[in-house]
Amino acid sequence: MCGIAGYIVLTAPGQETPDLKRMTRLLSHRGPDEEGYYRDARVGLGMRRLSIIDLATGKQPIHNETGDVTVVFNGEIYNFHQLRSDLQELGHRFSTASDTEVLVHGYEEWGDDLPQHLRGMFTFAIWDHRQQRLLLGRDHFGIKPLYYTRCGDLLLFASEIKSLLIWKDVSREINHHALDQFLSFLYIPEPSSIFREIQALPAGHTLACQQGETRVDRYWSYRPEPGRFRSRDEAIQAVRETFEDSVQAMLIADVPVGLFLSGGVDSASILAMMARHTEEPIQTFSIGFGDAEHRWDELEAAAELARHHATEHHEFRLDPDVVSLLPEVIRHFDQPFANPTAVILQLLSEKTREHVKVALSGTGGDEFFAGYPRYLGMALFNRYRLLPAALRRAAAGLGRIVLRESNDGRQGARRARRFLESGILPFDESYAAMLVTLEDARKHQLYTPEMQSQLNGSDTTAFVRQHLTDSNGATPPPLERLLATDIATYLPFNQLAYADRMSMARSLEVRVPFVDQKLADVAAGIPLAWHLKRGQTKSLFRDAMAPFLSQRVLKGAKRGLNLPIALWFRGELLDWLRGLLAPERLAQRGYFRPEAIAELLNEHVAGRRDHSLFLWALAVLELWHREYIDPASSDPAKT
C-alpha cells in the first residue's frame, strides 16, 4: 500500500515542473516505510510505500527488463501469483517477488487492457519511455483514490488532492455545483472535486497521455444480469464459495492481518472464513463509545463472536472529542466530506495500527447483497404507485404531521416519511429523494441569491438518476438498478472514500473482501427479490453464511456504528456549532442566508426536525474553509 504522485510535460520538455519530492512526501502517512522516484525530461513519478508484500525487494519504482517501462503503484493485486506465472510462460523475466512487477510486464503484454486482468485494489502510473506515453489506472470499484489536474502544458496526478495544491498554477476556485451536491449527499460525486480544476479519475477508468493529448476511457462497470442462476440455491452456493475465496485471497501478506469486528453479519462472516484459513489466533478490533447501555455500538455482540472463534480481541471504548478530531479528519480528505462515521474509523484505525499493518473490513456487503432498509421500501414502491395519486398525496401530507422524527438520530420515522413523500414521484426521482439529507426545495431556500446564481439551476441528483435509468447499455429490471447505482455512487464516493482516507491517515491498510471482482460477478447475477426474501435485508447472503454463523447473528437487525450527533447538537456541542454558524461568518462565506440557517438550527434544537446530518455538513464546510480557503491557510502542504 502506498501513495503515488507525479506529473507529465505534455508537449515541451524543459519547462518548470513541480517539486516531486514535496508532492510525494505529503503522502508519507500513506507510506511511512520507503520512498522512491523516477524522473526524465518529460515525466516525474514518486511514491511512498507501506510495505506489506515482498518486504525485501518490493521497493518502487519498478522497471521491466530493459528499463523502458516504469511503474509506481498503490494497492494490492491479489491474483499476482497467477499473473506472474502466466507472464513468465510468455517469456517475461521477473527480478522481484512483489505484486507491483506484474504491472510492468502486464502492460507490455496487454497494453491498456491491463486493468481487466487485475483482481485487487489499485491505482498506478506507468511510463512507457519508448512511446513517450503515461498511463494512469484506477481499480474497478474506486477503492483507491487518484486525482489529476491539467495546468497549461502539465498534467499532475496524486493519491490525494493536497499534493496537487502545492503547484503554483493549480487554482483553488470552488466548484459550486460540487458544493451543492455535498450538502445533499455529504460527499462530492466523482469525477468532480470541490476544486473546479481538479478531478478524480473515476473507478474502472484509465487515463492516457501521449503527444499532448489526454484521453479517459472506461474499462469496466458493474452490470446486473439477473436470471443467470437457475435457482436461488445455486446462487447461494456460488456466493458461499466465492466469498470464501475472496477472504482467502485477501489474507496474502508478509505482515499480520487483522479484522474490524462488529456484531453484524458482514464482519462475522469474514471472521468465519478467516478462521477456516488461518492457523494463528486472529486479531480482531472493535470500538464503542457513549453510554453503558451500548446504544451506539455492538461491542457485546463483537466480544461474543471473538470468544467463539478464540480471537486475540482488542476492544476500545472511547469518548471521542469531535471538536479536536474533526479538523484532522478534514485535512485527510482535502475537501468537504461529512459522514460522521469517518471520525470513528479514524480512532479505530489509530488503535488497530498499534497491533497490525493490515485489517479486513465488511465494507460493501450492504451494496452487493442488499443490506439497506431503503431496498425494502423500493421493493414496495411499484405496488404503492398503483394507489390513486390523490390518496398518495394525502398519505404524504399526513406523514409530515404524524411521523415525528426521533430526537436521538434514529432514522425509522424519517425513512417512513420520505417513502410517503417520494411515492408521488417517478421511480428514479423517488430513490434519489430518499438519499438526500435535506430536500432540494428546503435546501435552496437557505442559499443567498449569489449562490443561486452560481448554481444556475444545476441538477443535484442527476448523477443518481442517470445510473438508475442505465442509459449506457442493456437495461436491467428497475429493482436491480438500485444496487448497481449504489455500487457506482454511494460505495466509492462515501463508504470506500472514508475507509481509505481514515485508515491511510494512520498508515493502516484496509482490505474489503466484499468489494471483489469475482464476488461482484456472482452478485450481478442475483435478482433483488432473492436478497429480500421473508422481508429481510440481505437474506440470500445470510442463507449462504448459515452453516458458519449463529442464529443470533443471522437474524440480527442492521445497527451500524454512528455518532449520536443529533443529541450532541441539542446539548454539549450546541455552543460549538452556533459558533461555527455565527451570522457574521455565514455572511462572509456568501453561500447561505444567516436567518435561514438559524431557523434550521432552531428546528433541530426544538426537536421538530432532525437536521443533524445537514448541520454536521455545515460545520465541516466551515472548518474546511478555514483550512484550505482562508488567507491564513496559505500553505495546503502543511497537512
Q: What are phi and psi of 151, to 5 degrees?
A: -125, 100
Cell numbers that stand for 350 in this block: 489509530
Domain assignment of residue 454, yes or no: no
Cell numbers that stand for 138 in this block: 484506477
pLDDT digits (tens, 9 = 90+) for 562-605: 788 999 999 999 999 999 999 999 999 999 999 999 999 999 99
Answer yes or no: is pLDDT of 464 > 50: yes
Q: Which residues, at least 6 apart from 629, have a Cβ–Cβ distance to it below 8 Å?
A: 172, 174
Q: How would you class 217 by CB atoms within 10 Å of its CB: exposed for 0-12, middle for 13-18, buried for 19 or more?
A: exposed
The whole-chain average pLDDT of the chain stands at: 91
Residue matched to cell numbers 410517503: 420
- Cα gap 486→494, rounded to integer Å: 10
Question: What CATH number should be reported for the domain holding residue 8?
Answer: 3.60.20.10
- In the chain, the percentage of residues whose pLDDT exceeds 90 is 74
Query: What angle is formed at CA 496 by the lines to CA 492 and CA 501, rounded to 5 degrees?
Result: 125
- Cα gap 39→20, rounded to integer Å: 9
CB 133 within 8 A of CB 208: yes
User: 265-276 and 232-249 helices cross at what angle (nearest 10)?
Assistant: 70
Q: Is the dihedral of CA 498, 171, 30, 51 positive or negative?
A: positive
- Residue with the larger pLDDT of the pair 208 and 420: 208
Residue matched to cell numbers 468537504: 336
Q: Which residues, at least 6 apart from 264, have a Cβ–Cβ distance to it below 8 Å?
A: 298, 301, 362, 553, 556, 558, 559
Cell numbers that stand for 91 in this block: 517469456
Strands (E), 25-132: 34-39, 43-49, 62-63, 69-77, 120-128
Bond into 61 cis (ω within 30): yes
Please tell me the least confidently modeled range out of 21-25, 402-406, 482-486, 555-559: 402-406
Domain assignment of residue 125, yes or no: yes
CB 228 within 8 A of CB 525: yes
Domain assignment of residue 48, yes or no: yes
Bond into 477 cis (ω within 30): no
pLDDT digits (tens, 9 = 90+) for 55-76: 666 688 999 999 999 999 999 9
Domain assignment of residue 92, yes or no: yes
Domain assignment of residue 189, yes or no: yes
- CA nearest to 340, candidates 409, 268, 407: 409
pLDDT digits (tens, 9 = 90+) for 516-569: 999 999 999 999 999 999 889 999 999 999 999 999 999 877 666 778 899 999
What is the domain count for the chain? 1
Q: How far is CA 115 from CA 136, 163, 173, 562, 632, in A?
A: 10, 25, 33, 35, 42
Q: What are phi and psi of 118, to 5 degrees?
A: -95, 135
- Cα gap 415→373, rounded to integer Å: 9
Domain assignment of residue 187, yes or no: yes
pLDDT digits (tens, 9 = 90+) for 472-481: 544 556 789 9
Say what the pLDDT of residue 509 is: 95
Q: Which residues, at least 6 apart from 334, have a Cβ–Cβ distance to it below 8 Å?
A: 160, 161, 162, 165, 628, 636, 639
Per-residue burial over 4-38, b if 16 or more Cβ lie within 10 Å, else e, is bbbbbbbeeeeeebbebeebbbbbebbbebebbbb
Say what the pLDDT of residue 471 is: 47
- CA nearest to 246, candidates 151, 139, 364, 357: 364
pLDDT digits (tens, 9 = 90+) for 154-206: 999 999 999 999 999 999 999 999 999 999 999 999 999 999 999 999 999 99
What's the first-to-final CA gap in the chain, in angstroms?
Answer: 20
Domain assignment of residue 96, yes or no: yes
Cell numbers that stand for 193 in this block: 472535486
Domain assignment of residue 151, yes or no: yes
Task: Specify the 3-state DSSP secondary structure of 195.
Answer: strand
Q: How confident is the model at residue 250 (pLDDT cuts 50, 70, 90)?
A: very high
Q: What are phi and psi of 459, to 5 degrees?
A: -95, 110
Answer yes or no: is pLDDT of 411 > 70: no
* Residue range(s) defining the domain that contains residue 190: 2-218
